[in-house]
Amino acid sequence: MIKRRVFWLGQKEPVDVAPQYDCEYVNLTREKMLELAKQLAKQGMILLDGQSARPADALRKEEASIRAGMQKGVEAGKAATKVSA
């Protein structure tokens, strides 16, 4: 979730890696989300500055798989809402 958030929203300016809504959605504390972000930074996936991050080159290289995952989600949503006669 953090990787995708940083990939999609952090291209032009740093993005908060642990907004309250996301923490509530995944039922994790802000501290735990920040800990996970630090792990991603150690892996070279994100450039973390305090509580904000931008994508690192390693994350940008995953663009194809991130876009494929997005498309798969879109298709699943379409299928779930398809009305059959």
pLDDT in tens, 26-70: 999 999 999 999 999 999 999 999 999 999 999 999 999 999 988
- What letter would DSSP give residue 37? H
Strand boundaries in 1-85, DSSP class E: 15-16, 46-49, 52-55
Q: Give just the sign of the alpha carbon dihedral 23, 50, 62, 67.
A: positive
Buried/exposed code over 52-66 (b: 16+ C-beta within 10 A; e: otherwise):
bbbbbeebeebeeeb
Distance, CA of 84 to CA of 9 (rounded, Å): 36
Taking the model in full, what pTM does it have? 0.83
**Domains along the chain with CATH numbers:** 2-80 (1.10.10)
